[in-house]
Amino acid sequence: MRHANSRQLSRRSALRMAGFATVALAVPLATPGIVRAQNAARLVIIGGGFGGATAARYARINHPALAVTLIEPRTRFITCPYGNLVLSGMRVPDQITHGYDGLRTRGVSIVHDMAAGIDPVAKTVRLAGGQTVAYDRLIVSPGIAIKWGALEGYDEAASQLVPHAWIPGDGSQLALLRRQLEAMPDGGTVGFALPANPFRCPPGPYERISMVASYLKKHKPRSKILALDAKEAFSKQGLFLDGWKALYGDMVEWVPSNKDGKVVRVDAAEKTFVTEFGTRHKVDVANVVPPQSAARIAFDFWLTDQSGWVPVNPATFEAKAAPGIYVVGDANNGAPMPKSGYIASNTSKHAVACAVASLRNEAPPEGVYFNTCYSHVGDEYGISVVGVYRATDKGIVEVPNSGGVSPRGNLPEQRRLEALYADAWYGSITKDMFS
Amino acid sequence: MSLAAFATGARAAEPVPLAAQGCVGCHGVRGTGSGAIPGIAGRPAMEIAATMNAFRANERAGTIMGRIARGYSEAEIAAIAAHYATSR
């Protein structure tokens, strides 16, 4: 299996990296490249997204004695949330792009480089640029990677013709999808190939369908959307299906796996999806939400298991393979919690508290983990799912009789309020990360 | 503060209760509100607790807060209320 092979290669390269780290450690204090604050307990965070940025901010606010270093290669962070609203035209990319100056002002040492190796014995992170960062506790929030080739025909080159737009990166994937929608003639078909669970942002593909429908209704009303799904059910399904019918009539056709919706091959040049039973769907604009795993860095550091995600202690988010290294966000195996920005941000606060307790030789605090995911179905039509979770000896469980989705039915004022609340949430959580 | 001092010294400023750290994803920085979502900072603790408990008991209709409040214990709601009552 391709995936297993790449994993073995990663393990070998991780061994080599560990060797390099040991060599580098032989002359640590004399090396000018060493990045460390003197005489303070050092919390190092890898990844500057929802998990990592929030962790850095809360570490500085709640524990000002900590020296906090955030390692993130990019100088600007584009959020996945609200990317779909760029497709509908309700937002422009600048409105979902954030910088690290706020965290810098709070005293976080920001290192714009890629973490290339962890030595958990020496407690150092080696950077791609050659520097070494020493830590006392480490939080890793690296996000996801796309499993290129896991869906036949969908590799990195194919994504330049058929965008995924599922990892924001430099924003080019979202921009490509937006340009393709703009170039499509009225009456065309936008096709989606949607993955099996688990993947980043469970309601995200369906919000994207909604926002593309909103764009088409305004600009290309004779067009269609064909959503081919590897699942039989999806997040907030009833609410989305109700909303699509109410707002977009019969524009959206969703095909579940038991109706031959599972795409098994992508012909990117022909913009054609081939399903499990051999049906070929040629579309005008194609978007693949591809199979995913934890980010590459988690494989390189031996943190993942055969699922491709990082198993963690549900009470502390320490990686089972490496106690003392806390892994939060989409990369961990946090089910039944969704892989959402809110969960990444919320659980990173708990990971900071656990890391500090560990530095003090105290027991970790009791956690309660909280998620809210809003989705826009239309410009003034929002829906939500909420979950409150706790760590138990059976793993993470959702609190009974709590959480759940917005009520169904003809509730236009509830939908309008939730669309407003979604906008308010976006402003609030991004300030909770970066201000 | 050195690592050793950090490990053995007194706690720094009392951190925000973890249950309360969930609220600010929507309710704004330090609970001061964000857009259409009202602020909770500076409201009397009794008012915050009574509101949350009413949502929790299904005695007050909410757009979303009922689903949330039912996930928290009364003790957590009391801690949330005490924290945001003094937040500015």
**Nearest CB to B37 within list A368, A421, A432:** A421
Query: Would strands A124-127 and A115-119 be described as parallel, antiparallel, or unpaired?
Result: antiparallel
CA nearest A382: which of A361, A357, A409, A406?
A: A406
A168: domain range?
Answer: 147-292
pLDDT at A124: 96
- DSSP structure string for A95-113: GGEEESHHHHHTT-EEE-S
Pick from A367, A387, A425: CB nearest B26: A425
- How far is it, in rounded angstroms, from Cα A366 to Cα A232? 36
Using the Cβ of B29 and the Cβ atoms of chain A, whether some distance falls under 8 Å is answered with: yes
Q: What is the pTM of this model?
A: 0.90
* Beta-strand pair A97-99/A144-146: unpaired
Report how far apart, in Å, the C-alpha atoms of B2 and of each of A41, A147, A300, A304 are. 6, 43, 31, 33
User: Residues of chain A with pLDDT > 90: what percent?
Assistant: 89
Asked if residue A202 has pLDDT above 60, the reply is yes
Strand pairing report for A224-229 and A252-255: parallel
Closest CA to A155 of A309, A269, A275: A269
Report the CATH number at residue A203.
3.50.50.60
CA distances to A122, A123, A304, A396 from A117, rounded to whole Å, are: 12, 11, 15, 29
Q: Would you list the DSSP string of A353-368?
A: HHHHHHHTT-PPPPP-
- Nearest by Cα to B82 from B32, B48, B58: B48
Q: Cβ contacts (< 8 Å) between A359 and chain B: which residues? A: 3, 6-7
- Asked if residue A336 and residue A277 are part of one domain, the reply reads no
Top CATH class, B16-85: mainly alpha
Distances (CA, A) of A281 to A177, A286, B53, B59: 19, 10, 52, 51
Of A1-10, A166-175, A271-280, A365-374, where does mean pLDDT reach its minimum?
A: A1-10
Q: Are residues A251 and A267 in the same domain?
A: yes
Domain end (from A239, A265, A292): A292
For chain A, the domain total comes to: 2
CB contact under 8 A, A427 and B1: no
The mean pLDDT value for A389-408 works out to 96
With an 8 Å Cβ cutoff, is A306 touching chain B? no
What's the CA dihedral at A64, B28, A212, A277 to 10 degrees? 60
For residues A207-236, give the mean pLDDT: 98
C-beta of residue B48 within 8 angstroms of C-beta of residue B81 = yes
A340 shares a domain with A316: yes
A contacts of B34 (beta carbons < 8 Å): 424-425, 427-428, 431
pLDDT for the residue A11 = 39
Neighbours of A381 (CB within 10 A): 20
Q: A71-100, pLDDT tens digit by residue?
A: 999 999 999 999 999 999 999 999 999 999
In chain A, residues 376-435 whose CB comes closer than 8 Å to chain B: 384, 386-388, 399, 401-404, 406, 414, 417-418, 420-421, 423-425, 427-429, 431-432, 435
Q: Do residue A74 and residue A93 come from a single domain? A: yes
Indicate whether A299 and A287 sit together in one domain. Answer: no
Domain-ending residue, one of A259, A292, A325 = A292
Last residue of a domain, one of A292, A321, A343: A292
Residue A35 has pLDDT above 50, yes or no: no
- Given a cut of 50, whether residue A19 has pLDDT beyond it is no
**For residue A292, what are its two tokens?**
């995913």
Q: Is A58 left (phi over 0), alpha (psi -120 to 50) or beta?
A: alpha
Q: What residue ranges do the domains of chain B occupy?
A: 16-85
- Whether B7 and A360 lie within 8 Å, measured CB to CB: yes
